Amino acid sequence: MLRLQNLSKRYKTGDLALNNVSLEIPDGQLVALIGPSGAGKSTLIRCVNRLVDATGGYIYLGDREINSLSSKELRRVRRRMGMIFQEYALVERLTVMENVLSGRLGYVNFWQSLFRKYPKESVHEAYRLLDRVDLMHMVDKRADELSGGQRQRVGICRALIQDPELLLVDEPTASLDPKTSRQIMRLIRELCAERGLAAIINIHDVALAQMFSERVVGLKQGEIVYDGSPEGLTPDVLTEIYGKEDWEKTIEKAEDDDAMLDNGVPA
Amino acid sequence: MPTIKTNEGPAWRKRTPLKQWLVWAGWLIGLCIAVYAWQLISEKTIWMFVFDAPSQMADIGKRMAPPDWSYMSKLWRPVWDTLNIATIGTAIAMVLAVPVAFLAAHNTTPHKSVRAAMLFIIVASRSVNSLIWALLLVVIVGPGVLAGTIAIGIRSIGGCAKLIYESIEEIDQKQVEAIKATGGSRAQQMIYGIVPQILPTIAGVGVFRWDINVRGSTILGIVGAGGIGIQLNASINVLAWTQVSTILIVILGTVFVSEYISAKVRGAII
């Protein structure tokens, strides 16, 4: 379980990115985090694994408080949180296999990582994951040879091989076309269900958020303004989060898309 | 304000009239400086010697021809030494330049003061010509190939480290961040996130530097630091111009081959 308590982040520039955010995510729950650009979605996710250091408040993963950890303890806690990035953030010049195995770096020592001497079980797990996301034929390809959707699937494998309890997913579909976006979101949802993972997914696309999450949190100027079911996202709520706009179409369209996809577009 | 109001509506120019005049004035001042400088040079030149130059050149050319090809047999060894000085010197420089670069780049340096110290090493190495390093080293380790190799090595550290640290500063930080997020240590972030990104630069810089060093090491023998320069110096001292021309041709050939090899290798890397 992840629990944020009065979390705040003020950047050196003076911008208050997060203002007293409290949030509780039980095990296995898939949460979509929506909000306009600059609302603090990325900052929130990055505070959780301390790529960004919060300036106030507490973060608990299980019963460990994260903000006060030493760097060695922090590395151990980071292993329990897999991160998936908007532009994949694969190491471009390494192979797919090396990229997937890099998810185990928190478990191996310096020399093992230098000579890529990963334990046999890790390699087997990497093969299983790559098979699960249909990338077995790409194992020895360099990451920069892959298409966007393939890269994101490698990114997913890298996060999952950490054997995490929680996935932090930062705009996973922002660089992908609509169909691939849906496939990636569906894959993330299925994998979370298979492994009982909780996930926080930052996402721009309201329709996608409604389609693939069980809970939506709306962030506006660093504060939570909505926390509830996807169905609760009425035009009024969206106006509250994003500002005035004709939201009826957005919501209808989401339902249309879902219906279309249920009529047999393969994942 | 490049948009100017006219009777036919707004017009656009790259510069306002005032700026345009300033640009012209700048060119005029530049021209004046050039004319003045030429005058100074002209005053300090003994023009008799300059007008004499074509016949002098013809004279030396005549004495150099034909090259003394029999002297070639004595040149293979110095050419080999020259290549060794360049190659081993470059290898030493690269081995030292990589850690220096990591300590100097602002995104990998452990501390600002370390960065300052590394930048000092880089500047010191670059600001002294390899011939001067060789001159010092001949005194310290004695004349010969070793002095030349170390001179080339010291001279190259700065240039190599500078290019490598600049490429470290330009890497895609997100790849490093991803490694950090998996729980990788700083050292692991370096070997996994940074090194793959700068590997092509390291290889490119090494080859580029080797090419420069082949040219640089042909001259080191003049101060006794080994290589073909020793023969060149000796032949000039005894006015054996036909030998000098042979040596120059050999140097030209060596440089030509090294340029060819480095171009090929660089092409293969990129």
Q: Roughly what angle, to the nearest 10 degrees, separates helices B241-269 and B229-237?
A: 160
The strand order across the sheet containing A64-65 reads A16-25, A2-10, A56-61, A64-65
pLDDT of amino acid A254: 52
Is the pLDDT confidence value at A267 over 50?
Answer: no
pLDDT of amino acid A263: 46
Contact criterion met (CB < 8 Å) for B181 and A83? yes
Phi then psi for residue A180, to 5 deg, are -60, -35
Cα dihedral across residues B237, B242, B248, B251: positive or negative:
negative
Query: Averaged over B112-125, what is the pLDDT?
Result: 94
Is the pLDDT confidence value at B177 over 70?
Answer: yes
**Alpha carbon A130 to its chain's center:** 18
pLDDT of amino acid A132: 92
Peptide bond preceding B66 in cis form (omega within 30 of 0): yes
Which overall architecture, per CATH, does domain B75-269 show?
A: Orthogonal Bundle (1.10)
Contact criterion met (CB < 8 Å) for A110 and B187? yes
Query: Averaged over B86-112, what is the pLDDT?
Result: 94
Is the pLDDT confidence value at A82 over 60?
Answer: yes
Is the pLDDT confidence value at B130 over 90?
Answer: no
A85: left (phi > 0), else alpha (psi -120 to 50), else beta? Answer: beta
Kindly indicate the confidence band of residue A160, based on its pLDDT and cuts at 50, 70 and 90. Answer: very high
Cα dihedral across residues B177, B181, B182, B184: positive or negative:
positive
> Which letter does DSSP use for residue B140 in this model?
H
> Which positions in chain B touch A77 (Cβ < 8 Å)?
183
* Percentage above 70 pLDDT, chain B: 99
Q: Which residue of A has its CA nearest to B180?
A: A51
Tell which residue, B103, B220, B204, has the closest CA to residue B160.
B204
Q: Which residue of B has its CA nearest to A164?
A: B182
Supply angle C-alpha B12, B16, B20, rounded to 5. 120
Q: Which residue of A has its CA nearest to B197?
A: A93
Is the pLDDT confidence value at A78 over 90?
Answer: yes
* Contact (Cβ atoms closer than 8 angstroms) between residue A18 and residue A59: no
Query: Averaged over B150-158, what is the pLDDT?
Result: 93
Tell which residue, A146, A94, A80, has the closest CA to residue B192.
A94
Q: CB-based contact (8 Å) between B193 and chain A? A: yes
> Which positions in chain A touch B184 (Cβ < 8 Å)?
75, 102, 105-106, 113
Is the pLDDT confidence value at B195 over 50?
Answer: yes
Is the pLDDT confidence value at B194 over 90?
Answer: yes
Looking at per-residue pLDDT, the higher value among B73 and A141 belongs to: A141
Domain boundaries, given as residue ranges, for chain B = 1-42, 75-269
Is the pLDDT confidence value at B109 over 70?
Answer: yes
A187: left (phi > 0), else alpha (psi -120 to 50), else beta? Answer: alpha
Nearest to A91 among B187, B192, B200 (CB): B192
Alpha-carbon distances of A74 from A9, A53, A161, A162, B97, rounded to whole Å:
19, 12, 18, 14, 32
Phi then psi for residue A176, to 5 deg, are -115, 160
Q: CB-based contact (8 Å) between A64 and chain B? A: no
Is the pLDDT confidence value at A119 over 90?
Answer: yes
Query: How many other CB atoms sit within 10 Å of the CB of residue B129?
Result: 13
Q: Which residue of A has its CA nearest to B196?
A: A93
State the pTM of this model: 0.80
Query: Averaged over A192-204, what is the pLDDT?
Result: 92
pLDDT of amino acid A252: 56
pLDDT of amino acid B269: 73
Tens digit of each residue's pLDDT (9 = 90 or more) over B28-48: 999 999 999 999 998 888 888
Is the pLDDT confidence value at A264 over 50?
Answer: no
Q: 3-class DSSP state for residue A142?
A: strand
Tens digit of each residue's pLDDT (9 = 90 or more) over A227-252: 999 988 888 888 888 888 887 777 65
The mean of the pLDDT values for chain B is: 90
Supply angle C-alpha B179, B184, B188, rounded to 5. 90
Looking at per-residue pLDDT, the higher value among A259 and B267 belongs to: B267
Q: Which of A66, A76, A91 to mutate to test the interface with B (most CBs of B within 10 A)?
A: A91
Is the pLDDT confidence value at A259 over 80?
Answer: no
pLDDT of amino acid A248: 78
**Separation CA A33–CA A227 (nearest Å):** 9
Q: How many Cβ pairs within 8 Å bridge chains A and B?
A: 80
Alpha-carbon distances of B36 from A175, B42, B102, B136, rounded to whole Å:
60, 10, 47, 39
* Contact (Cβ atoms closer than 8 angstroms) between residue B135 and residue B147: no
**Separation CA A201–CA A45 (nearest Å):** 9
Tens digit of each residue's pLDDT (9 = 90 or more) over A136-158: 999 999 999 999 999 999 999 99
Q: 3-class DSSP state for residue A90?
A: coil
Residues of A numbered 82-101 whose beta carbons fall under 8 angstroms of chain B's beta carbons: which are they? 82-83, 85, 87, 89-94
User: Rg of chain A over CA atoms, in angstroms?
Assistant: 19
